[in-house]
Amino acid sequence: QQQVKQSPQSLIVQKGGISIINCAYENTAFDYFPWYQQFPGKGPALLIAIRPDVSEKKEGRFTISFNKSAKQFSLHIMDSQPGDSATYFCAASPTSGTYKYIFGTGTRLKVLA
């Protein structure tokens, strides 16, 4: 069954702390793993994405770590800021249908000032 399991459902972090959101998948055919950020009243926006040929990708304070053997990937937000407070969705895209993202259930992040 194609699904992506995301945890935690919600997360509270102090300003300057590290936020970590985890996702796990079952289908080994997935080959593209994007993370989306959604602010209240807005649609999701692509934040960062990784392919399984690398184990880590960093863009500014945002890092994706990818463990192919464990079929897990995670988003790390370093030096978390109140402006990072949003809902984060992981997703996976199967090789055969590249627009058919399988989304996680989302993590609501709140960064305290």
Partner 1 sequence: ETGVTQTPRHLVMGMTNKKSLKCEQHLGHNAMYWYKQSAKKPLELMFVYSLEERVENNSVPSRFSPECPNSSHLFLHLHTLQPEDSALYLCASSQDLGFYEQYFGPGTRLTVT
Q: Which residues in this chain contact partner 1 in the complex, by CB under 8 A?
A: 3-4, 9, 32, 41-46, 89, 93, 98-106
Q: How far apart are CA 67 and CA 18, in angstroms?
A: 19
Return the number of the residue (9 or 69) whose C-beta is nearest partner 1. 9
Nearer to partner 1 by Cβ, of 81 and 105: the residue is: 105
To the nearest 10°, report the CA torsion of 20, 7, 54, 63. -20
Q: Which residue has the tokens 């994405």?
A: 49
Shortest approach of partner 1 to residue 95 CB, angstroms? 10
**Shortest distance (Å) from residue 105 CB to partner 1:** 6
Closest to partner 1 by CB, 17 or 57: 57
**Nearest distance from C-beta of residue 113 to partner 1, angstroms:** 26
Q: Which two tokens stand for residue 52?
A: 């399984």
44 or 77: CB nearest partner 1: 44
User: Phi then psi for 31, rounded to 5 degrees?
Assistant: -140, 15
Strands 86-94, 102-103: parallel, antiparallel or unpaired by DSSP? antiparallel
